[in-house]
């Protein structure tokens, strides 16, 4: 059964109906989605380890037995405070972090592709969208598809008015209400606020005017088709994000998925049946 969805104009009125690409009906795999998100996140981590001379930058001596004191290395010709050993102040750190530790979670390319189409399919499930915490009381159907004129809006107030007419603005308000100051030292490290994710707006290109117009809206992400990843559709590994597509972005997304599919499976040879069905091959 082909899924159909309405196309809305800037006044929030349904003007026509189109068919969604086949991958919107693919199986939703929360396990693969979580793996893909972890793989993306760990590649942003910075390796960290102790200095090679940490706790060792001392000239120390051991006097040996017969001095009625612990036989540990000490400064000042062996007569001062202990250094270098782990139990001494300023000494070595036991099991210190090392920059050679493997901190990247790997994932196969084909699994990552299946996770992507699975995360996209979750945006068309109203139950998952509501379970993720989005405000959907005024939304008629998901995903939301709007005309291409939406990409040409250059003012934030115009974007806000359109989102209100589409019934999405209540979710933006919810993200604004949940913004709070982080507890702990993270406030001093460039992450002062805890923020919630609102709707995702998918556009056709990276030079569209709406990207600048909507960047100040709390929780709203505006992403071109060629930059989309699993993390955009399932932040934190939880599928079902509220998504707004433009018509042209939906067409380009279909082309991108087809292109990736042909590249990974060598034009469909040896492809799993469920993946081939999701792509429409």
| Distance, CA of 165 to CA of 8 (rounded, Å) | 10
- pLDDT of the residue at 268: 59
At residue 281, the pLDDT reads 65
pLDDT at 169 over 80: yes
Confidence band of 269 (pLDDT split at 50, 70, 90):
low
Alpha-carbon distance of 128 to 122, in angstroms, equals 7
What are the tens digits of pLDDT across the range 48-100?
999 989 999 999 999 999 998 899 999 999 999 999 999 999 899 999 999 99
E strands within 142-225? 144-146, 180-181, 193-194, 200-203, 221-224
pLDDT above 70: residue 244: yes
Give percent of the chain with pLDDT exceeding 90.
Answer: 88
pLDDT category of residue 2 using cuts at 50, 70 and 90: confident
Can you give the residue ranges of every domain in the chain? 4-45+106-279, 47-103
Q: Is the pLDDT of residue 280 over 80?
A: no
**CATH node for 4-45+106-279:** 3.40.1370.10
**Predicted pLDDT of residue 150:** 97
- Check residue 279 and give its pLDDT: 79
> Span 4-26, mean pLDDT?
95
CB atoms within 10 A of CB 202: 25
Summarised one tens digit per residue, pLDDT across range 124-156 is 999 999 999 999 999 999 999 999 999 999 999
Which helix (H) or strand (E) segment holds residue 6: the answer is strand 4-8
Q: 1: pLDDT confidence band, cut at 50, 70 and 90?
A: low
């Amino acid at each position: 059964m082909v899924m159909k969805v309405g196309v809305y104009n800037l006044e929030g009125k349904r003007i026509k109906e189109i068919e969604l690409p086949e991958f919107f009906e693919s199986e939703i795999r929360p396990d693969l989605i979580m793996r893909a998100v972890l793989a993306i996140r760990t590649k942003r981590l910075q390796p960290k380890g102790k200095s090679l001379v940490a706790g060792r930058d001392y000239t120390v001596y051991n006097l040996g037995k017969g001095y009625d004191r612990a036989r540990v290395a000490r400064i000042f010709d062996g007569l001062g405070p202990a250094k270098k050993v782990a139990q001494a102040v300023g000494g070595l750190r036991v099991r210190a972090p090392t920059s050679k530790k493997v901190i990247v979670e790997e994932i196969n390319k084909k699994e990552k592709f299946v996770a992507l189409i699975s995360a996209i399919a979750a945006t068309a499930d109203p139950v998952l969208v509501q379970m993720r915490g989005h405000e959907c009381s005024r939304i008629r159907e998901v995903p939301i598809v709007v005309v291409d004129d939406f990409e040409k809006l250059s003012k934030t107030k115009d974007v806000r008015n359109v989102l209100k007419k589409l019934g999405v603005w209540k979710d933006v308000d919810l993200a604004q209400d949940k913004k709070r100051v982080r507890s702990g030292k993270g406030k001093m490290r460039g992450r002062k606020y805890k923020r919630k994710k609102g709707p995702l707006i998918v556009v056709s290109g990276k030079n569209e005017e709406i990207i600048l117009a909507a960047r100040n809206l709390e929780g709203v992400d505006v992403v071109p088709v060629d930059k989309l990843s699993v993390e955009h559709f399932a932040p934190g590994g939880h599928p079902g994000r509220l998504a707004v597509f433009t018509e042209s972005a939906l067409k380009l997304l279909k082309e991108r998925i087809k292109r990736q599919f042909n590249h990974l499976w060598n034009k469909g040879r040896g492809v799993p049946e469920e993946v081939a069905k999701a792509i429409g091959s």
